[in-house]
Structure 1
Amino acid sequence: MVLSEQYMQIRKHSEQICEPLQTEDYVVQPVIDVSPPKWHLGHTTWFFETFILQPFHEEYRVYNHEYNYVFNSYYETIGNHVIRTDRGNLSRPSVNEVYAYRSYVDLAMREFLKKTLTEDIKALLLLGFNHEQQHQELLLTDIKYILGNNPLFPAYKIAETITDEFDGNIAEMISFQEGVYEIGYLGEGFCFDNELGRHKVYLQDFSISSKLISNEEYLEFMDDGGYTNFVYWHAEGWDWLKNDKITAPLYWHLVDGVWYVYTLGGLKPIHLKAPVTHISYYEAYAFANWRKMRLPTEFEWEIAANVFKWGERWEWTESAYLPYPGFSRAAGAIGEYNGKFMVNQKVLRGASEATSPDHSRITYRNFFHPHLRWQFTGIRLAR
């Protein structure tokens, strides 16, 4: 696929995700970690305008200079920006103005992509494509949080896009021998900088489950006092549980003695055999501890991923988000993309059903703070 076609396909997909929304849905920000859909649409457009059109397209004229302050996310090199907690206060630009901004930039990009491009510009374009795909997943998860915290529990789509399918196979533990293994991206295609620095790691004997933990298994943990017995939890996790009054996974609701879960198709009875989702690292750790097992490291996960099905949930690992050997930040604003977040976060591996097409690979390193669970996160055990 040529770059112009790939660009337009990705840009169109972002807008397709937003098609079911009402205007009011575009502007809500219930918590700091959830950005309004309108902001995602503007920010991904700002990325192409700022990193491609302004420096490389001589005839380009900036759509609105004030948008740099509104839609810059965290790039200190680029200048000041609206603090994250205030994205939901942006009643302007309006939804219509944001779509007009997207159309303006898309027109300029289509003209620009007719030119002969250097390899460096192509690399920036691919980063922009993958950046927007990251935000497409965030769009879905943020939309779910916005609608799932509305007391009416409105459906995003009646024909739900995120399914709870399961293969029906019995879980088994897959064993691996101790030894030296190679970790990290290897290939000619795109990857993020945090996947680079392929290197050797030594692993002890380990085994890993062929399946994710199901809702049924997680209910057993809950029924056995999982949320009331401190012995299963890290001290920090126990404090989080008590302070936030956590008693079940995100979106679970006990109605007349029956557990329901909010889905993108509305409130539904829990599907017992489906993988549990919207779990924090704290909860994943506590469950593993209760089962007298543990979470895999990201290195164990990567070595084993070729022999089990993955991609239904982002899977918490026991690994801290740290740089690989030889990691170095790129010069300028692009160097802020991943490196400055390598502290106080846990690595997740895999993908989820909300992940955009062609945006998952075994070496992909996602990362979140331990208390977060609005993404489609799940649990795979190891020992």
Structure 2
Amino acid sequence: MSGPSFITKNRPSFLLDGYKIVGVIGSGSYSTVYKGIPQNGQEQFVAIKCVEKSKLSASGLENILTEIQMMKLMHHEFIVEMREFQWDEKFIYIILEYCDGGDLSTFIKKRRKLPERVVQKFMRQLALGLQFLRSKDICHFDLKPQNLLLITKPTLTLKIADFGFAQFLSKDAHRTSIRGSPLYMAPEMLLKKHYDAKADLWSVGIIAYECLFGKPPLPSATCQELVEAVQAMVPIEVPHGSVSDDCQSLVSSLLVYDPAKRIGFEKFFDHPFLDLEHCPSESSYEKAVKLVQKAVVLDADKNYKDAFTVYCQALRYLVPYVNSLTDGVLKRSCYDKVLEYTKRAEEIKVVLYKFDDSKLAKNKRTQNSSKTGDELVEDDQQSFRTFKTISLI
């Protein structure tokens, strides 16, 4: 293997088996991340994390080895994938999936703050990534917007990155060493108390708050000011009326100083704001198809009350799935089915509840005539959230 002939921030130039270096993505205290192209004929970029061994302490080297060990286990759509790793006498090279959208921190700064529906999408993806990590007994311990990378094509996707501080940690194990970035660090970690996996959930709360409001909940000029705010347990409030009740509930339950009272992983994954059950996937589509088939049979048998319920259940799976499609022809075909089931459910609702909303429906069709497919499906999703609140008793 040939190692770097020289490395500078402005002029990357080194030979690495199988890769051509074309630019610099970023750099840290002991590593630089380069943009590369595989030399096997594939025009697909990769990110190459080049770690200089001489700058690593013993614990730093151990962290790198642990990071590589973990990433060999991780193959998930919301976690940055390690393609391979190489090394020589001076450097360790970690070849990673390339994310063309930069990081979440830059994404937020460009927009000041994000709409709740975008935050919901990112939080769902982050939660699914964390759910996978928990299944592998892995805690990240450095969750922050800078370590959440984005892919823009074929659709905007968030991926968890940088496992330099991550640890294998059973649910009963505790640690005391400080890991991560103070602004996103759980209170128990910042104050050098025992901490466990729930430290990651505090970080998720800080990230969600920053996405929604464009700033962290405990802004401070220095680390000492932050420590004092945490010691004083300065109240963290999500402004009423600024977000939905479900969103406020999730963020408030994450940003609890006492880890014993903070929401746990099971309740976090089950939270209605995330609604992971209805996230788009092949299995969610299969569930939608079975429910639609059941609804059609109930409808034909004139069992309208149950038919309405099952149509709504089906669309809760189907709408997110259609929104996630990138094939335009397939998306349009599925979208037409969504409209068909939506229309039928609206007709049944009128029959069941003697509520004549034909004028409302007509106005909605007029307003929708200039909208895109994505906007239309989002409107349908909102209408079925309303349907869900109707009592069928």
Q: Please classify the TM superposition score into its range, dividing by the shorter chain length.
A: under 0.3
Larger Cα-atom Rg: 2
Give the TM-score normalised by structure 2. 0.26
Give the TM-score normalised by structure 1. 0.26
Higher RCO, Cα 8 Å, sep 6+? 1
